[in-house]
Amino acid sequence: MTITLPGPLVSTAWLAEHLGQAGLVVVDASWYLPAMNRDPRREYLAAHVPGAVFFDLDAESDHGTDLPHMLPPPDKAAAALGRLGIGSADAVVVYDGSGANLSAPRFWWQLKVLGHDRAAVLDGGFQRWSAESRPTEGGPTTRSPARFEARFRPELIRSFDQVSAVVGDDSVALLDARSPGRFEGREPEPRPGLRGGHVPGARNLPYARLVAGDGTMLPRVELLERFKEAGLDLDKPVITSCGSGVSACALALALEIVGHRRYAVYDGSWAEWGGRPDAPVQAGPA
């Protein structure tokens, strides 16, 4: 059975209606900042959407670098998806428990980088699912291994050198999802050894400003207003970044929703840029 997703977002009602159908895989991709003092795997084992498998972002990142959460080589990333039970023909719905789309969009973006468009983020995530008293289950869920074939899309990802090449280039927009304090250099970075501030010329739009109080994504017209308030020119291609390439994907998701598909994610983000002495840094407001 072929599952047709309504777009890059699906509602809790949509997921409840289609839950358990063949060809649909639900993924809990929760991940949290250390300061949040939350254990995503433990929370998953306590309660998750029935049938959901757990994706461990830390475990499945590239361990050949000292940078956090870097995308593994396409063949290794595809193999990890196959072990989860995700096949190339499957539709995927991913969520997290943050209530603000902290990490679910990262998994959605990874699928897109690997050439898989049949994926969507659960609007409102597990927080909304639970608030509506929808069914949950505990313990681990496993699926039979599947074959996932990667079709790598390098245009959706940017490296340090690629970002360096566009600093000062007015034809490309840079958008940072970190908090204003970190962006402006007023607050310390959570990772030791990183300078404060931002990539010169970048704009700032914290990822949490993309959602309403119930954790659902703002309507398209309000997302456009958020981009406008941040000073983003949507006539330009956009490179998104954050602390380690996770919440930057929430900006990518919002761009996808408003119809701006000329975006890419700087995978190393501030964990790389802020730690390199050869990288120029700007402090203060955008």
- How far apart (Å, rounded) are the C-alpha atoms in residues 146 and 91? 13
Burial (0-12, 13-18, 19+ Cβ within 10 Å), 161: exposed
Query: What separation in angstroms does the CA of 258 have from each of 98, 149, 226?
Result: 22, 29, 11
The structure tokens listed for 138 are 């505990």
List active site positions: 242
Would you say 252 and 176 are in contact if contact means Cβ atoms under 8 Å apart?
no
- b (16+ CB within 10 A) / e for 18-47: bbeeeebbbbbbbbbeeeeeeebeebbeeb
- How far apart (Å, rounded) are the C-alpha atoms in residues 77 and 137? 27
**Residue 220 one-letter amino acid:** R
The structure tokens listed for 95 are 């969520």
User: SS3 of 15, please?
Assistant: helix
Cα Rg of the chain (Å, integer): 18
Residue 125 parent element (H or E): helix 125-131
